[in-house]
Amino acid sequence: EEILALDRDCTTLSRHVLQQLQSFSADAQDVSALMNRIALAGKLIARRLSQAGLMAGALGFTGEVNVQGEEVKQMDAYSNDVFISVFKQSGLVCRLVSEEMDEIYHIPENCPLGRYTLLYDPIDGSSNVDININVGSVFAIRQQEGDDLDGSGQDLLQSGRKQIGAGYILYGPSTMLIYSLGTGVHAFVLDPSLGEFVLASENIKIPKHGAVYSVNEGNFWQWDEPYRNYIRYMHRHEGYTARYSGAMVGDLHRLLFQGGVFLYPGTQKNPEGKLRTLYEAAPMAYLVEQAGGLASDGQQAILDVIPDQIHARTPVIIGSQADVELVQSFLSEP
Ligand code: AHM
Ligand code: MG
């Protein structure tokens, strides 16, 4: 029993990443170092969140407004800086693209050695922070293409199939890190006493169908009719139940293990919906496809969506195959 527990504790994220990459090439070393940095960011953010209620100035707003026109929360700003700090002087990442930064953040001292771009949402579901319920961080890794001399990040305006890895960190009762490097989806739990992410489940497969649908029904009259018809169908049929927390990471985490569907359709005000393609929708789509589920914008796979700018948004229907297909059957009705 002791040995079993020891074996489990020793299956840390860093060991697991190296196993996934199955090589000790320079690329593998870099990706593994990169994942370790992301894990460090997760630990720093988790620590801050666990103490935020005790710390003056850790909660509430900064008084600034971000590129999305949203008021910036202290935790958004702090968590964004965490990612910058862990990747500075890492030699790994040339550029950072974040929900909290209007422009691409270039790290010249890492280039041209650093061959990767990290795209991330430092705090997903920020409105949950002040009331002490779950939030998350979302990340995607892309290979740097070209030198991006003009700093415009044109090479990032490509499909999500260009991602070489993606994942999220869920700050809940415990902190979890879920990732994929294209060979399955794996979940880790942060053991605070070790300061390590320890393997919890490997090769996660999302159930083909689940009871949960997860959508902000407050937008009902803002949607196109087919979405309303879908929701009416859900209301009239047994076996479905609604769950919506205001943080996509938490809602999708539930679906990954229990099945079901999460939607954020376009609205009259925002025809592309709310979620950002590069650092919210595409990384989640990558994980869900790796887990055997589906992710669609209503017309095509999210992973095929080509954003027209780095902060572009896309409608999202994501989760279990059967449940995504059910939504799609309403969208394709004549
Ligand atoms: P955020 O990254 O600014 O927090 O926004 C993303 C979040 C998602 O986590 C969540 O599903 C959605 O916004 C909730 O938005 P709404 O309140 O419109 O339902
Ligand atoms: Mg977000």
Predicted local confidence at residue 235, as pLDDT:
98
Predicted local confidence at residue 140, as pLDDT:
98
State which of 275, 276, 277, 313 you would mutate to test the pocket of ligand 1, scoring each by most atoms of that ligand within 8 A of its C-beta: 275
Distance (Å) from CA 264 to ligand 1 centroid: 9
Per-residue pLDDT tens digits for 282-294: 999 999 999 999 9
Tell me if 220 sits within 8 A of 234, measured CB to CB.
no
Distance (Å) from CA 239 to ligand 1 centroid: 26
Q: What is the ipTM of this complex?
A: 0.97
Q: What is the mean pLDDT of residues 146-168?
A: 90
* Residue 174 CA from chain centroid, whole number: 17
Angle between helices 282-290 and 248-258 (to 10 degrees): 10
Cβ atoms within 10 Å, residue 312: 15
Q: What is the mean pLDDT of residues 229-247?
A: 98
Look at residue 155 and tell me whether its pLDDT is greater than 70.
yes
Predicted local confidence at residue 183, as pLDDT:
95
The rounded percent of the chain whose pLDDT value lies above 90 is 78
Q: What is the mean pLDDT of residues 40-61?
A: 85
Q: What is the mean pLDDT of residues 260-282?
A: 97
Q: How confident is the model at residue 172 (pLDDT cuts 50, 70, 90)?
A: very high
Q: What is the mean pLDDT of residues 166-180?
A: 97
Annotated binding site for Mg(2+): 99, 121, 123-124, 280
Which comes out higher in pLDDT, residue 259 or 52? 259
Residue reference for tokens 């009871």:
211
Taking CA atoms only, the protein residue closest to ligand 1 atom 5 is 125
Residue 126, ligand 1, Cβ within 6 A:
yes
Predicted local confidence at residue 115, as pLDDT:
86
Q: How confident is the model at residue 78 (pLDDT cuts 50, 70, 90)?
A: very high
Look at residue 22 and tell me whether its pLDDT is greater than 70.
yes
State which of 68, 75, 131, 264 you would mutate to test the pocket of ligand 1, scoring each by most atoms of that ligand within 8 A of its C-beta: 264
Calculate the average pLDDT of the chain.
93
Per-residue pLDDT tens digits for 190-227: 999 999 999 999 999 999 999 999 999 999 999 999 99
Residue 124, ligand 1, Cβ within 6 A:
yes
Distance (Å) from CA 94 to ligand 1 centroid: 28
For residue 122, cis peptide bond before it (omega within 30 degrees of 0)? no
Taking CA atoms only, the protein residue closest to ligand 1 atom 19 is 216
Residue reference for tokens 């270039």:
106
Residue 247, ligand 1, Cβ within 6 A:
yes
Taking CA atoms only, the protein residue closest to ligand 1 atom 4 is 125
Distance (Å) from CA 238 to ligand 1 centroid: 28
Predicted local confidence at residue 56, as pLDDT:
67
Q: How confident is the model at residue 62 (pLDDT cuts 50, 70, 90)?
A: confident
Taking CA atoms only, the protein residue closest to ligand 1 atom 14 is 246
Residue 216, ligand 1, Cβ within 6 A:
yes
State which of 61, 66, 73, 127 you would mutate to test the pocket of ligand 1, scoring each by most atoms of that ligand within 8 A of its C-beta: 127
